[in-house]
């Protein structure tokens, strides 16, 4: 790692310099002053307009996010540098996360490894590379992970749509070993199957793990799990419930949910294939009541332009869910749109409660799982918000 090593230079405007100083890892194209020699995916040395070095970053010639900071030191990242980053990522997860058989080992910017996601399912690693820069260094990161963790196979789930913004192909590729179609995992006593080849994300929603566990305590009477995917929220709530209604628009997701119910000998689940918007409306019309409702929709705001429509969507499902609550019932409601911060989501929930004619108490404000670290200087990294509300309308 020589400080005099040769990297292309990119110079940035004052606004970007301030952002970098505040530990934000992104520089947008508008804040780039010059990038003469840099090629798409290169590691570059970032300078201010006086030539002072601000650090090292991945350069994207395609995305609106032109630079993703890798380090604020004047280094030329080599194999040892990436291995040290992997050590830091594993160390910050520590023993708390080691007990999970499915866990995120690398979470992009949260681990100063921008664009790189690495999830471990038992002994099978699934990586997701979101930028051209990430593709250039992945071999060194995987090699470092292999030296530190038992890994039998590596699959690249490079199919997210954001790759097209970087001019990258969408593909799923076996990088080494053989990744099974289904990996059965244990989540604190609940057994479920991840689907690394075709499932959403890298095969399961690891980010909701702790929120699913929290739902155990709220399981009671009638339970509704809307946007259920493989019914993993439902299965944690089921032992204390009399009946759990599981709703998802995907027949494939429900089939896996049924198989998971079988694995856990849970016989109180009913599976409904439906658009949750319609299903919630129909149940409201019928005057149904639930003691626990869980809402975990996909990101309605995928870009900043979607936020207005997304707000309407979040509000609508939350109005209906609140109206479905029995007196004292609990709503566990999530948003994974990073364009909508926690305060905005809370505002939507407040409006929803007003529309629903309900009062509620915020019993918990939750976020993403501990293996999805959030950097204070990078609020966009805290994409998952989860509120636990208890109906308080009964009080005179
Ligand atoms: N709670 C799950 C993850 C849910 S992901 C877990 O912890 O594992 C969101 C789910 O919403 C997906 O399974 C998707 O199929 C489903 N979905 C998307 N749009 C929907 C709609 N309009 N109605 C019902 N389900 C929908």
Q: Where does the pLDDT of residue 1 fall: very low under 50, low under 70, confident under 90, or very high at 90 and above? A: very low
As a whole number, mean pLDDT of residues 328-348 equals: 96
Q: pLDDT at position 307, please?
A: 87
Q: Is residue 248 in contact with ligand 1, taking CB distance under 6 Å?
A: yes
Q: What letters, b where the CB count within 10 A reaches 16 and e where it falls short, cover 15-37?
A: ebbebbeeebbbbeeebbeebee
Whose alpha carbon is nearest atom 4 of ligand 1?
Answer: 229
Assess whether the C-beta atom of 296 lies below 6 angstroms from ligand 1. yes
* Angle, CA of 375, 99 and 213, to the nearest 5°: 75
Ligand 1 centre and the CA of 2: distance in Å? 48
Q: What is the mean pLDDT of residues 304-330?
A: 94
| Atom of ligand 1 at shortest range from CA of 275 | 23
pLDDT of residue 7: 96
Mutate to test the pocket of ligand 1, among 204, 250, 309 (most ligand atoms within 8 A of CB): 250
pLDDT for 396 equals 60
Catalytic positions, please?
336
pLDDT at 3: 47
Read out DSSP for 66-119?
A: EEEEEESSS----HHHHHHHHHHHHHHHHHHHHT-SEEEEEEGGGGT-TTEEEE
């Amino acid at each position: 790692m020589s400080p005099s090593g040769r990297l292309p230079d990119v110079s940035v405007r004052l606004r970007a310099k301030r952002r970098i100083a505040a530990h934000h890892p992104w520089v947008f194209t508008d804040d780039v002053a010059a990038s003469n020699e840099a090629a798409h995916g290169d590691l570059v040395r970032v300078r201010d307009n006086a030539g002072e070095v601000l650090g090292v970053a991945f350069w994207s010639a395609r995305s609106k996010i032109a630079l993703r900071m890798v380090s604020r030191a004047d280094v030329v990242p080599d194999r040892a540098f990436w291995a040290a980053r992997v050590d830091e990522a594993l160390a910050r997860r520590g023993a708390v996360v080691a007990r999970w058989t499915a866990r995120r080992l690398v979470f992009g910017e949260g681990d100063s490894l921008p664009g790189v996601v690495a999830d471990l399912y038992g002994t099978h690693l699934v990586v997701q590379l979101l930028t051209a820069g990430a593709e250039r260094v992945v071999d060194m990161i995987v090699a470092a992970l292999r030296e530190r963790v038992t890994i039998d196979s590596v699959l690249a789930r490079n199919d997210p749509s954001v790759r097209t913004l970087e001019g990258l192909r969408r593909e799923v590729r076996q990088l080494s070993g053989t990744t099974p179609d289904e990996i059965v995992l244990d989540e604190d006593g609940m057994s479920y199957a991840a689907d690394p080849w075709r499932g959403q994300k890298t095969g399961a929603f690891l980010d909701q793990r702790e929120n699913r566990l929290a739902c155990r305590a709220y399981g009671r009477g009638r339970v509704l799990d809307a946007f259920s995917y493989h019914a993993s929220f439902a299965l944690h709530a089921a032992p204390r419930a009399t009946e759990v209604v599981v709703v998802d628009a995907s027949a494939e997701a429900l089939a896996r949910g049924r198989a998971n119910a079988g694995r856990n000998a849970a016989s109180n689940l009913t599976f409904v294939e439906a658009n949750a918007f319609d299903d919630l409306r129909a149940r409201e019309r019928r005057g149904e009541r639930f003691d626990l409702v869980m809402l975990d929709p996909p990101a309605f705001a995928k870009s900043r332009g979607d936020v207005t429509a997304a707000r309407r969507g979040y509000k609508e499902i939350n109005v209906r869910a609140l109206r479905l609550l029995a007196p004292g019932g609990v709503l566990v409601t999530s948003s994974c749109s990073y364009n909508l911060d926690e305060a905005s989501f809370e505002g939507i929930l407040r409006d929803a409660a007003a529309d629903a004619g309900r009062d509620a108490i915020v019993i918990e404000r939750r976020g993403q799982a501990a293996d999805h670290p959030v950097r204070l200087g990078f609020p966009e990294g805290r994409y998952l918000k989860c509120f636990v509300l208890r109906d308080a309308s009964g009080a005179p």
